[in-house]
Structure 1
């Protein structure tokens, strides 16, 4: 089967690779040899979502991460609003940012702890998720695919 490009152009697989980096290097080689790479696409196949568990997430971790997030938001808002002071904007920005840090940390900690408590023990872990592909196909418009295969074979 020849997949279609978004504008109705037929595409053909030129080469398949086990990693995205290898597919990028192939497109780089085509570019270096003067091939019109705007007619090329890298297509990921056999996608799967992988969620790596990084640790337990208890009450104190929820409180701490909520406080940290709230503190960052509080500092940013405080600094911006402090700059709006006409008389001493820089001094005011620093002072209001410090108040924002404290207020944001308190509110963020409460929200984090409350949301953890209300979850009822579901999802008591932290994780990082991402997509992973089984292979990567370098595809080119059908009328130039043969030339791309020839250049990659050199």
Structure 2
């Protein structure tokens, strides 16, 4: 079913909250009150990307991170190959060989990746997208019921 031009995406607004947790709690309250929550949508507006710098990236850290990732992949491949080993000694050899080869290749790829940036991004970070406001929207046919329930929810504290 296509949305009509006169109705905004998600229906009509029945509540607006400063955080996603508050909007989620409001919808959870509607669910607890046996409201048909399949008629409800949470829409985040005024989006902004937040990048939290977590540290300095050096050649050593890049090599260590690459080696760690490569070691995990090598261990995985070694375990898979070890399934076909005829005896216990061959199994241990497969696992250790996979681990060592993965560690070396991971370290090499980590170093090459760091060198390829040529110092343009010498830091590590995590990114997230945060909305300035979260609107709880509802199908117009059920909007008045939702507003009444959310009014009680807001009085709860």
Assess same fold via TM > 0.5.
yes
Q: Report the secondary structure of 1:42's partner residue.
A: strand
Q: State whether residues 83 and 92 of structure 1, in contact with CA within 8 Å, keep that contact through their aligned partners in structure 2.
A: no
Residues 8-23 of structure 1 aligned to structure 2 (within 5 Å): 11-23=11-23
Deviation at 1:84, TM superposition (A): 2.6
After the TM superposition, list the runs of 4 or more consecutive aligned residues in structure 1 that deviate by more than 6 angstroms: none
2:133 counterpart residue number: 135
Aligned pair partner of 2:8 in 3, 28, 34: 3
Provide the residue aligned with 1:8 in structure 2.
none
Q: Is the 1:52–1:127 contact (alpha carbons within 8 Å) kept by the matching residues of 2?
A: yes
**Corresponding position: 1:54 with 2:59:** no
Q: Is it true that 1:79 corresponds to 2:63 in the alignment? A: no
96-105 vs 142-151, which deviates more?
96-105
Output the CA distance in 1 between the equivalents of 2:149 and 2:50.
35
Give the 3 Å change call, closer, same or farther, for CA 94–139 of structure 1 in structure 2: farther
Rounded Cα–Cα distance in structure 2 between residues aligned with 1:25 and 1:138: 11
Find the aligned partners of 1:126 and 1:93 in 2 and give their Cα distance: 37
Give unmatched runs, 5+ long, in structure 1: 6-10
Provide the residue aligned with 1:107 in structure 2: 105
Q: CA RMSD in A?
A: 1.6
2:68 is aligned with 1:68: yes
Unaligned runs of 5+ in 2: 1-5, 153-157
The residue matched to 2:106 in structure 1 has which SS? helix
Residue 144 of structure 1 is matched in structure 2 by 142
What is the CA distance between 1:95 and its match in structure 2? 3.2
Q: CA deviation at 1:28?
A: 1.0
